[in-house]
Amino acid sequence: MAAKFELIPNPTFKLPVSIPCAGEADGSITFTFKHLATDELSDIQGDFSDRIEALMKEHEGQELSAAQIDKLQRPIMVGFLEAIASGWDLKQEFNAENLDTLLRYRPAAFVAITSAFRLELWAVRQKP
């Protein structure tokens, strides 16, 4: 029997996200994501894009390494993650400092997290 359909979903949902880990097996963090309406997500994504664009324009003409770009963009990425998620299943508290630590040590985590969130929110799943 199918679950009863609700027009307005629960405000959050949990989703395990595979985090790429260099030199070792990928890890997994179960995030508690905010179930955002499409217009809310559009606003958050637009703000993120605008902030990244402004930051890169500010440093236009400078030869920056990937590590330097990552360091400059990381606070914006942390803010984006705080806008779409409200928790995780790690023993460390879900906060800006620990998100920054995650992104510093696991640089592929941002794309993994945001991609998993987007795919789940839009229910883009492969049929078994």
Alpha-carbon gap, residue 125 to 68, rounded angstroms: 35
* Mean of pLDDT values over 102-114: 97
pLDDT in tens, 15-44: 999 999 999 999 999 999 999 999 999 999
Whether the CB-CB separation of 9 and 33 falls below 8 Å is answered with: no
pLDDT at position 128 is 53
Q: Which two tokens stand for residue 92?
A: 């460390």
Q: With the C-alpha atoms ordered 123, 103, 59, 68, is the resulting torsion angle positive or negative?
A: negative
Whether the CB-CB separation of 72 and 55 falls below 8 Å is answered with: yes
pLDDT in tens, 49-96: 999 999 999 999 999 999 999 999 999 999 999 999 999 999 999 999
What is residue 121's three-state secondary structure?
helix
Strand order in the sheet with 85-88: 12-19, 27-34, 85-88
